[in-house]
Amino acid sequence: MAQSVAANQSPAADEAPQVDAEKYIKDSEAALAESLSTNDASVVKRVLADDCVCILDGRARDKAGAIAAAANGPGDFIANHLDYATVRLFGDTAIVQGSDTWTREGGETGHFIWTDTWIRRNGQWQIVAAQDTVTPIK
């Protein structure tokens, strides 16, 4: 019986969880980008898995380090906005590549070009690995 029910489902019903996951991940990536300049550590706590490792220009940071950095304030960042995020889903794993544009006090601007690996555990999507590179705007 289960096979006949599954066979009768429309493709749209099958795609709904994927669309929901992509929206959640993109919205979370945007919130994470904004949190760099707003001092909102709650976003970092929610989005990063407990075992997450983040690499920023060759330096590793765990979740606790990322939360501490967010809680300490934005430093000289006055803005950071998501440019785009491309989500590729593979079951309970998502590879997300994107870019943020930032502005620092004094007017310097640049990009974070990044790749985040998301895992769905216990029904919750979180980042388990992040690789960010800073590039200036030319």
For the entire predicted model, the pTM comes to 0.85
State the pLDDT confidence band at 93, using cuts at 50, 70 and 90: very high
Residue 40 backbone dihedrals phi, psi, to 5 degrees: -100, 90
pLDDT digits (tens, 9 = 90+) for 46-84: 999 999 999 988 899 999 999 998 888 778 899 999 999
Q: Is the pLDDT of residue 105 over 80?
A: yes
Q: Which pLDDT score is estimated for 8?
A: 40
Buried b (16+ CB within 10 A) or exposed e, 16-35: eeeeebbebbbebbbbbbbb
Q: Is the pLDDT of residue 2 over 60?
A: no
Architecture of domain 2-136: Roll (3.10)
Q: Which pLDDT score is estimated for 1?
A: 37
